Structure 1
Amino acid sequence: MEDNLVKVVLRLEEGEDVYVETPWATDLGDGRYRLENCPFYFYDLAYGDIFSAEYSEEEERLAFVKVLEPSGHKLVRIIFENPADEDGKEKEQLDSLVAMGCTYEGTNPKYICLDIPPEIELGKVTEYLISNELNWEHAAPSYDTLYPESE
């Protein structure tokens, strides 16, 4: 790994549930970092986004503060019924999304974070997800960011 890669804490609190993840980020200097992974739980942060982070005494490492410059990447999360790394419809569906130009990371073969590059329309991908009746969610931008009037 490069010398300027660091781990940064992303903390998401939903009621009594707390999710903590530590993706890789490139240290750009002056408290600025570029995300090099897809967040598995955190919202409104996508691959390539530039964000600020500060050392947290509580976390004992760098912790995310806020997005400074969105990269234009979008992120959706998919939960497949069956593992997407085995032959079957899930693998075919994931392969179709990759053929559209998306990339992905997975915590396991059923839970996939789909990175949608800036040149790919979010609507094209979500239309595919809906038409294939997949279980998915908006992550970056989040549903609440996309549809603030629905709260």
Structure 2
Amino acid sequence: MQESHKKIVFKYYSTYLEEIVSETMWAEIVDLEKGHFKLDNIPFFGPLIATDDIFRAEYDDAEKNFMHRETIESSGNSILQVLVLEKEFDATLIREKLKTINCLSEALNDTFFAVEIVKNVDYSIVKSLLDEYESNSVIEFTEPCLSEKHRADLLKN
């Protein structure tokens, strides 16, 4: 049986961690000969890439792994990073609210999670929800990979 996915290493500078990090994520093989893949993970800290984006990766002998080289095509999806500031706050409350508006998330730990906003979700609704928590100093969030479509959602409201 032919494999459909590969693990790809992404190396980049993380402003959150303030250091160069490696993040390994799963990607669907689009065209192995050309080194084209489709991201099948929600990046925690990642470079400017979102789920379902098409990118090019090359096998690196020194790393003994496929390495991300460049993003070729944007899916229109976005990725947010959320840091929970209030120690007693249960982040699953926000994550469940996000899930009801079709935004999946992945937790790194109790205080940090990444959120996927798919293209067809109105980002102004997501931002409104997160702004409310941020204004109450419960969370801080960043928009490291905000698609053109989601930027446009903010302009029409």
**TM-score, normalized by the shorter chain, greater than 0.5:** yes
Aligned length: 139
1:115–1:14: structure 2 CA closer, same or farther, 3 Å change rule? closer
What is the aligned partner in structure 2 of residue 56 from structure 1? 60
Structure 2: unaligned runs, 5 residues or longer: 152-157
Is the partner of 1:127 in helix, strand or coil?
helix
Displacement of 1:7 in angstroms is 0.7
Give yes or no for contact 1:73–1:116 (8 Å, CA) kept in 2: yes
Structure 1 distance, partners of 2:85, 2:57, is 36
Contact 1:43–1:141 (Cα < 8 Å) also in 2: no
The offset of 1:89, in angstroms, is: 5.3
* Structure 1 residues 81 and 44: alpha-carbon distance in aligned structure 2, compared to 1, 3 A threshold: same
**Superposition deviation, residue 48 in structure 1:** 0.7
Aligned-pair Cα RMSD in Å? 2.4
Provide the C-alpha distance between the structure 2 equivalents of 1:79 and 1:45, rounded to a whole number of angstroms: 19
2:6 is aligned with what amino acid? V
Secondary structure at the counterpart of residue 91 of structure 2: helix
Determine the C-alpha separation between the residues in 1 that align with 2:7 and 2:90: 35
| Equivalent position of 2:154 in the other structure | none
Instruction: Name the counterpart of 2:74.
Output: 70
In structure 2, the partner of 1:17 is 19
Q: 1:35 to 1:120 in 2, by over 3 A?
A: same
2:22 partner letter? V
1:1-150 aligned within 5 A: 3-13=3-13, 17-29=19-31, 30-81=34-85, 90-133=91-134, 134-141=139-146
Conserved in 2, the CA contact under 8 Å of 1:106 and 1:113? Answer: yes
Counterpart of 2:121 in 1: which secondary structure?
A: coil
Please give the secondary structure, in 2, of the residue aligned with 1:78: strand
Q: Secondary structure at the match of 2:120?
A: coil
TM-score, normalised to structure 2, is 0.78
Contact kept, 8 Å, 1:76 with 1:138, in 2: the verdict is: yes
Percent identity (aligned) = 24
For 2:56 and 2:49, locate their aligned partners in 1 and report how far apart those are by CA, in whole Å: 12
> What is aligned with 1:149?
none
The whole-number CA distance in structure 1 between the counterparts of 2:14 and 2:43 is: 16
Cα offset, 1:124, TM superposition: 2.0
Q: Specify whether residues 14 and 119 from structure 1 end up closer, same or farther in structure 2 by C-alpha distance, changes over 3 A only.
A: closer
TM normalised by structure 1 equals: 0.81
- 1:27-73 residue CA offsets vs partner (Å, 9 max, x unmatched): 11121000000111113100111101111233221111111111111
